[in-house]
Structure 1
């Protein structure tokens, strides 16, 4: 599942927290950020340059047959990004589940507290009779 990541030097894909991708000149720059470990002041990261594929595209289908130079993302980078998306979206899903559980717990806490107050009021009414 992480063959492409291992190929670019990612030893422990499970420690990946996030990544960024930018284009600079004729390269795509991928920066992978790892989760901080105890004692680390800064996030560790890995920076990898991928040369962009150079192509010539026909831009005028009329009689001129003019071509224009263009570049596009390298196929191996697409595979790496696919693996990164799977890893980072899994992390996001786990965080979302945790947040949902905490939200549900807080809601339940409010409901129970309100019910306790209601029962105490009913008891007070019975005591005053």
Structure 2
């Protein structure tokens, strides 16, 4: 029996029903995919997983670099492309068109949740650093 999302499974993602969203960004010469999960309060499981995919480059003369055509020669990883297709298919029902007011409210709630999560992470990190400093005394 084949897995419903073989690329995601190959990447180590198995909790398909817990995925809430994903983000893709570019850092230098790599694409970074971050997958976020729904987790209950107090869970020890991570709220996200980060995957980095190097961007392959074609060999071209040096004088050709720094042009727009140079940047078009870089391409995304085929594994990343397939993972994005699977994530989109997995989250498609959750992305059904909704009323504008509901969509704006959902976005606001998500931003507030992200802000609260970031505040908790920063507080925990600051507490950890303070403990490490106290241990050095």
Q: What's the TM-score bracket when you normalise by the shorter of the two chains?
A: 0.5 to 0.7
**More strand by percentage:** 1
Separation of aligned partners in 1, 2:59 and 2:90 = 34
Q: After superposition, where does 1:1-129 map in structure 2 within 5 Å? A: 1-40=4-43, 44-56=47-59, 67-68=64-65, 69=70, 70-93=73-96, 96=98
List alignment gaps of at least 5 residues for structure 2. 103-137
> The residue matched to 1:20 in structure 2 has which SS?
strand
**Inter-partner Cα distance in structure 2 for 1:11 and 1:41:** 16
Q: CA deviation at 1:56?
A: 4.6
TM-score normalized by the length of structure 1: 0.58
Report if the CA contact (8 A) 1:27-1:49 is conserved.
yes
Contact 1:32 1:47 in 2 (8 A): yes
The structure in which a higher percent of residues are helix is 2
> RMSD over aligned Cα, in angstroms?
2.9
Q: Looking at CA atoms only, which structure, 1 or 2, has the larger radius of gyration?
A: 1
Deviation at 1:13, TM superposition (A): 1.3
- TM score, norm. by length of structure 2: 0.55
Q: How many residues align?
A: 90
